[in-house]
């Protein structure tokens, strides 16, 4: 397996050789945003959508002066240099390094522009996609701007750890009012009576790229969609539940908090969306 290859400010090097200052604000404050992209056969999937979201995240936290076209070129150069095929790209832009001080406007900062490419083994996730996965529910302890893809992920980390300790792949997060937001590192949908349900974007969730792509697939397949609040109890009445995310793709959930979802097997809507997703990737690869 080739070693992960990094690119920091245009310089390529093995990931383990990258050095970042301890005064970098992503280390001290989590003052940074990121993206994770899936690459199929050397070609980044939904690339424009990821760069658009990165632009939005940077603007939302007022990190200025990052040339995203240049970052994009560096990404392609790094994928090509490492001859990567099936891989992921992690991109991380922080506000930069400066003496520790919360406010940032009066400091002259150069954003840190880091990315790395690493080979991706889809095997375990492919198996979960085939058989379905189990999840827990867990309180959403995050801040009020989860639409920004920031590296402040402590609440997500703790939620996912609780899931892992329960031998589950994900944690579906619930808010104090008893409605659901999203999962610790994925979006999710329920399916009830053939209708796809998901939390609206105006609630406190990340605008998932795969979420949006799956909504487009559902429109093509004439599967009705309802973007409205999902109560925690609704999970236990759903016929099907799916997780969506960059590496999860369309992942059926077959148990929530130990209870079977529907028949306890991946359902027909999940299967249909999986097929459409795979077909879309095949078409993308044949076009590029």
Token pair 């390529």 in the structure block, residue: 12
Nearer to ligand PDD, 209 or 235 (CB): 209
Nearer to ligand PDD, 113 or 249 (CB): 249
Nearer to ligand PDD, 205 or 254 (CB): 205
Residue 98 CB, nearest distance to ligand PDD (Å)?
26
Q: Based on the residue annotation, tell me whether 101 is a catalytic residue of this protein.
A: no
Nearer to ligand PDD, 134 or 186 (CB): 186
Residue 211 CB, nearest distance to ligand PDD (Å)?
6
Binding mask 110-129 for ligand PDD (x = CB under 6 A): --------------------
Nearer to ligand PDD, 54 or 109 (CB): 54
Size of the site for ligand PDD (CB under 6 A): 14
What is the side-by-side strand order in the sheet with 43-44?
11-14, 5-8, 112-119, 87-94, 32-40, 43-44
CB 25 within 8 A of CB 98: yes
Question: Rounded distance, CA 148 to CA 117, Å?
Answer: 22
Q: How many residues does the chain have?
A: 288
CB 187 within 8 A of CB 244: yes
Nearest to 9 by CA among 88, 98, 59, 70: 70
R_g over Cα of the chain: 19
Contacts with ligand PDD in 36-95 (CB under 6 A)? 36
Nearer to ligand PDD, 87 or 206 (CB): 206
> Which part of the chain contacts ligand PDD (CB under 6 A), choosing from 15-23, 124-132, 240-248, 266-274?
240-248
Instruction: Catalytic residue, from 43, 83, 106, 149: name it.
Output: 149
**By CB under 6 A, residue 26 contacts ligand PDD:** no
What separation, in Å, do the N-terminal and C-terminal C-alpha atoms of the chain show? 25
Binding mask 170-199 for ligand PDD (x = CB under 6 A): ------------x--xxx------------
Residue 209 CB, nearest distance to ligand PDD (Å)?
3
The C-alpha torsion from 95 through 100 and 101 to 106, rounded to 10°, is -50
Q: Output phi, psi for 74, to 5 deg.
A: -60, -40
Q: Which residues contact 89 (CB under 8 A, 6 or more apart)?
A: 35, 36, 37, 39, 44, 75, 78, 79, 115, 116, 117
Binding mask 138-157 for ligand PDD (x = CB under 6 A): ------------------x-
**By CB under 6 A, residue 210 contacts ligand PDD:** yes
Write out the two tokens for 47: 């690339």
- Under the rule (CB under 6 A), what is the footprint of ligand PDD? 36, 156, 182, 185-187, 206, 208-211, 244-246
Provide the annotated active-site residues.
Answer: 149
């Amino acid at each position: 397996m080739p070693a992960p290859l990094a690119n920091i400010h245009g310089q390529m090097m093995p990931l383990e050789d990258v050095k970042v200052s301890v005064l970098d604000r992503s280390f001290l404050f989590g003052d940074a945003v990121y993206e994770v992209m899936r690459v199929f056969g050397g070609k980044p999937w939904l690339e424009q959508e990821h760069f658009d979201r990165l632009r939005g995240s940077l603007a939302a936290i007022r990190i200025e002066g990052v040339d995203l076209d240049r970052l994009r070129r560096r990404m392609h150069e790094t994928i090509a240099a490492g001859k990567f095929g099936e891989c992921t790209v992690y991109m991380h832009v922080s506000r930069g390094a400066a003496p520790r001080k919360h406010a940032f406007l009066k400091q002259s900062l150069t954003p840190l522009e880091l990315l790395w490419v690493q080979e991706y083994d889809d095997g375990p996730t492919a198996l979960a996609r085939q058989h379905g996965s189990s999840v827990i529910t867990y309180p959403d302890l995050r801040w009020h701007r989860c639409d920004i893809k920031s590296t402040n992920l402590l609440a997500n980390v703790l939620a996912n750890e609780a899931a892992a300790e329960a031998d589950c792949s994900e944690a579906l997060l619930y808010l104090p009012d008893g409605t659901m937001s999203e999962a610790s590192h994925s979006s999710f949908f329920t399916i009830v009576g053939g209708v796809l349900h998901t939390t609206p974007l105006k609630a406190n969730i990340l605008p998932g790229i795969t979420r949006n792509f799956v909504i487009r697939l559902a429109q093509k397949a004439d599967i009705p969609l309802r973007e409205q609040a999902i109560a925690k109890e609704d999970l236990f009445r759903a016929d099907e539940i799916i997780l969506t995310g960059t590496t999860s793709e369309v992942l059926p959930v077959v148990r929530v908090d130990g209870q079977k979802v529907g028949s306890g097997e991946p359902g027909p809507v999940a299967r249909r969306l999986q097929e459409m997703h795979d077909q879309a990737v095949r078409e993308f690869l044949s076009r590029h």
